[in-house]
């Protein structure tokens, strides 16, 4: 399968714990995005990388959230001191740098904070 | 900031019939892209159709077509000959033209049910 992959697919954690999610983009894609989707809502943008550079961050990305993309390949999203409000689906997408810049989405990681 | 509004939380259609999903948006930009994404239950989101704001001609992809009204800031999706596999959440999304923000701004979605 050459699509965007995310790991884990599901994560259950207790409030206050740290969690880390991984995203592997389509191999030739140099752009990578993170979104958060809560129940009944559309995805909300969190952050965007071009290669290894983090070029755009949403105000939703509080200081408890950090994202990295070392070497411009896979990316990790870490949430520290999780809160119940962090429960959501975390979506990763990737794209090529081109005019239309179609974003291809992964299956998401569903986080439940107890 | 740009916003996208989908005023129909749920829609239903009979198999083989036609359905139209509504979307309005707000922006001060003159050049941008609009998209419709489909999110089937427990499956990943896929692009259905896109429209460049500078193009007057409405985009068409097989059974899917859009009605883009730039002045009214309206972007509706028409699904013809509906099939059971069309059942999904449909999201309207906005993106700035190259040089602007790379993020997609999504509406809240419309859940489409297709009845056999």
Write the pLDDT tens digit of every residue in A79-93: 999 999 999 999 999
Decide if A57 contacts A38 (C-beta within 8 A). no
- From B107's Cα to the closest Cα of chain A, the distance in A is 6
Of B47, B95, B107, the CB nearest to A42: B107
- From B29's Cα to the closest Cα of chain A, the distance in A is 17
pLDDT recorded at residue A99: 60
Is the CB of B103 less than 8 angstroms away from the CB of A108?
A: no
Q: What is the dihedral of CA A26, A12, A59, A40, to 10 degrees?
A: 90
Confidence of residue A20 (pLDDT cuts 50, 70, 90): very high
Select the residue from B34, B46, B49, B103 to test the A interface by mutation, using most A Cβ atoms within 10 A.
B103
Spell out the SS3 assignment of chain B.
Answer: CCEEECCCCEEEEECCCCEEECCEEECCCCCEEEEEEEECCCCCCEEEEEEECCCCCCCEECCEEEEEECCCCEEEEEECCCCHHHCEEEEEEEEECCCCCCCCEECCCEEEEEEC
pLDDT in tens, A91-113: 999 998 776 778 999 999 999 99
């Amino acid at each position: 399968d050459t699509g965007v992959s995310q790991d884990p697919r599901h994560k259950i954690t207790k409030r206050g714990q740290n969690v880390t999610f991984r995203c592997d983009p389509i191999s030739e894609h140099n752009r990578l995005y993170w979104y958060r989707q809560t129940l009944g809502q559309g995805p909300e943008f969190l952050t965007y990388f071009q290669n290894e550079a983090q070029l755009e961050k949403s105000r939703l990305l509080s200081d408890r959230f950090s994202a990295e993309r070392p070497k411009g390949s896979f990316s990790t999203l870490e949430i520290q001191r999780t809160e119940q409000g962090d429960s959501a689906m975390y979506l990763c997408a990737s794209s090529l740098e081109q005019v239309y810049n179609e974003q291809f989405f992964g299956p998401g990681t569903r986080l439940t904070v107890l | 900031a740009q916003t996208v509004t989908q005023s129909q939380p749920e829609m239903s259609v009979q198999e083989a019939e036609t359905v139209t999903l509504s979307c309005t948006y707000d922006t001060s930009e003159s050049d941008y892209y609009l998209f419709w994404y489909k999110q089937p239950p427990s499956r990943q989101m896929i692009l259905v159709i896109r429209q460049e704001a500078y193009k007057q001609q409405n985009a068409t992809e097989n059974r899917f077509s859009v009605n883009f009204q730039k002045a009214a800031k309206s972007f509706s999706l028409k699904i013809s000959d509906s099939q059971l596999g069309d059942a999904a959440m449909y999201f309207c999304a906005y993106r700035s033209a190259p040089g602007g923000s790379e993020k997609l701004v999504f509406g809240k979605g419309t859940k489409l049910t297709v009845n056999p």
